[in-house]
Each structure stands twice: as C-alpha cells, then as structure tokens.
Amino acid sequence: MILLDGIKTSQELRTEIATEVNNIVQNGGKRPHLAAVLVGNNGASVTYVNAKIKACEEVGFTSTLIKLSDTISESELLLEVEKLNSDPEIDGFIVQLPLPLQIDEKKIILSIRPEKDVDGFHPENVGRMALGMPCFIPATPAGIIELLDRYNIETGGKHCVVLGRSHIVGQPISLLMARNTYPGNSTVTLCHSHTRHLSEIVRTADILIAAVGRPNFVTADMVKEGVVVIDVGITRVVDKTKKSGYRIVGDVDFDSVSQKAAFITPVPGGVGPMTIVSLLKNTLKAARGKKA
C-alpha cells in the first residue's frame, strides 16, 4: 500500500508557487492577493479559513480576511461581494460555505465576478469546466486530480466510483475523471443516497472517491484488492483524549481498507491540504489572468 501524502505533495506545490511569486515580484509585479469572507464563527469554517490565510503567507501572497457577523443580511453580504469584485487590489476571493440560513448561497455565488471566483463555484466556471474550456476548477477536485497526477496513477479506462454528488466535490470530480485528458478517461459511476446496490458498485471500483460525510462509511468488505482510494470526507467526532476535544474521521475505514488498497489518502493529511494548495494555484492564475 502506498500512502497518497497530501502534506508532502502540497508542500512541494507550495514551494513551486513561492518560486513563481518571487519571480513575479522580482520582475516588478504585484503579489497575488486572495481575500476570504467568513460569515459567523462555525468552528470548522474558522479552521479552514485560517489555514487558507496561513498558506497565503507561506507562499508570499497578500491576503485579507473579512469576518462578518452571522446576523448579516443577504443584501449586506452582496455589498461586501461587490466591494471585492470592484477592488483592483484583489485578484481572487472566496466566500466560505456554508452560509447562515437567511442568506441564499446561490445568489451570493452568482454575484461573484467569474474572473475572481477562485473557488470555481460560479455557473460560468462550472459550465466552462463541463465544456473543457479555460476556467477555475474547484479546489477539492483540482487537488484530487493533482494528487493522482503526482503519483502517476493510471486512470485511463479505469472504473472510477464517486460517492456523493455535491456541487463542490462529487459532481465536479465525476466530470473531471470522465474527461478525455490525463488524469481522466475513466468510466465514472456517480452514487448518492438513492443509489441501489451501492456496495456491489463500490466493489467494482478501480478508483474510489468518497465524499459523503459519513465517518467510516466504506469498509474493507466493500472494496476490491488493489483499489485506489481517495477519501474526501471530514467529520469531527468528540474525542476527550485530544486537546481540541475532537478528532477528524474520513468516509473510509482506513485501518481495514488500507490493507486491500494499492494507494490510499489518509485523513487528515490527504485531500484537505491539497484543497488549500489548489486554491493558491487558482489565485496565482487569477493574478496572471489580469495582466494578459
């Protein structure tokens, strides 16, 4: 079994990005600038946004964190987005999801300028991705593709089973695995809560991408020998032995599944760090795009 090490791989990528930032600055260019909007103080969201800001500092980006109250109205948040849209200093920005119930996420996503939409959530970017046109690919699927690529994992002609059809993970990774470039050219089956005979389908997977958000959902009896396993799931479970009071559990029962897998991502330390570095890559691309 080979561990798909997201910490090591993302560190390599961060070093590459930092080198490019240095080149830009030495040639008189401006540092890429990412802004993140955080509404409220949901524990996981605070952790992720802080991790994104820290990653920006590491590669030499400028970053701005905009913290807003969870009682903010939709129109107030739309105004914040508009400010970022029209601020020439900002190359790209994200609005951390989920948002409070009084705010319609779709409206917010639609209001983001596609050229600054480094999350790749705007319909223009989603449509472009589906058509294989230049776009921002959402960070989590982009990170998975990068990991497969860096470990030279064969994907052509393989059966890739995706668990979960969310717009931020399951749906885009299904499209990417099916497209006609490497990594891709897989035969994709997309499963969700209405899928029948899910275990039987998973057992036929050469590549399994799990994004359901249910701890230890995939067990060893459900996978075949030699499977490549990408575990996207992140669930916090109470653990009093930890200083934080919780530990993070993936969608895959790592201890048993890793005994049958050829490659597997750990949780934490797999897809998560790749997501963050992919956001940096998108921001670098946004910064470059403006010059062209």
Ligand X SMILES: NC(=O)C1=CN([C@@H]2O[C@H](COP(=O)(O)OP(=O)(O)OC[C@H]3O[C@@H](n4cnc5c(N)ncnc54)[C@H](OP(=O)(O)O)[C@@H]3O)[C@@H](O)[C@H]2O)C=CC1
Ligand Y SMILES: Nc1nc(=O)c2c([nH]1)NC[C@@H]1CN(c3ccc(C(=O)N[C@@H](CCC(=O)O)C(=O)O)cc3)C=[N+]21
Which residues are annotated as part of the binding site for NADP(+)?
A: 164-166, 234
Query: Any residues with CB less than 8 A from the CB of 288 and at least 6 apart, and which?
Result: none
Fill in the amino acid letter for 149.
Answer: D
Task: Give me the least distance between CB of 50 and ligand Y, in Å please.
Answer: 10
Please, are residues 110 and 122 in contact by the beta-carbon 8 Å criterion? yes
Strands 207-210 and 159-163: parallel
Given the rule CB under 6 A, which residues bind ligand X? Answer: 140, 163-166, 168-170, 191-195, 198, 211-214, 232-235, 271-272, 275
Using CB under 6 A as the binding rule, whether residue 125 contacts ligand Y is answered as no
Q: Which of 183, 229, 273, 283 touches ligand Y by CB under 6 A?
A: 273
* Cβ neighbour number for residue 229 with a 10 Å cutoff: 26
Amino acid at 64: T
CA 231/CA 250 separation, integer angstroms: 6
The single residue among 56, 99, 137, 248 that binds ligand Y, judged by CB under 6 A, is 248
What tokens does 193 get?
């809560």
The H-or-E segment that residue 10 falls in is: helix 6-26
- Residue 96 annotated as catalytic: yes
52 catalytically annotated: yes
Is 51 near ligand Y (CB under 6 A)? yes
Residue 276 engages ligand Y in binding (rule: CB under 6 A): yes
Among the options 5, 91, 96, 206, which is catalytic? Answer: 96
Catalytic entry in 5, 91, 119, 231: 119
> Reduced to 3 states, what is the DSSP secondary structure of residue 53?
helix
Among 9, 10, 96, 171, binds ligand Y (CB under 6 A): 96
Q: What is the number of other CB atoms lying within 10 angstroms of the CB of residue 171? A: 20
Which residue's CB is nearer to ligand X, number 81 or number 202?
202
Tell me how far CA of residue 227 lies from CA of 159, 214, 220, 254, in angstroms.
10, 20, 11, 13
Q: Of these residues, 5, 52, 91, 231, which one is catalytic?
A: 52
Interface with ligand Y by CB under 6 A: which range of 43-51, 186-194, 222-230, 253-261? 43-51
DSSP 3-state assignment of 118?
coil
Q: Which residue has the tokens 């129109």?
A: 75
Question: Active site includes 285?
Answer: no
Tell me if 213 contacts ligand Y by CB under 6 A: no
Taking CB atoms, the residue at the shortest distance from ligand Y is: 272
191 binds, among ligand Y, ligand X, none (CB under 5 to 8 A by kind): ligand X
Binder of residue 269, out of ligand X, ligand Y, none (CB less than 5 to 8 A by kind): ligand Y
CA distance linking residue 91 with residue 35, whole number of Å: 8
The residues that are catalytic are 52, 96, 119
Site residues for ligand Y per CB under 6 A: 47-48, 51, 94-97, 119, 139, 234, 248, 267-269, 272-273, 275-276
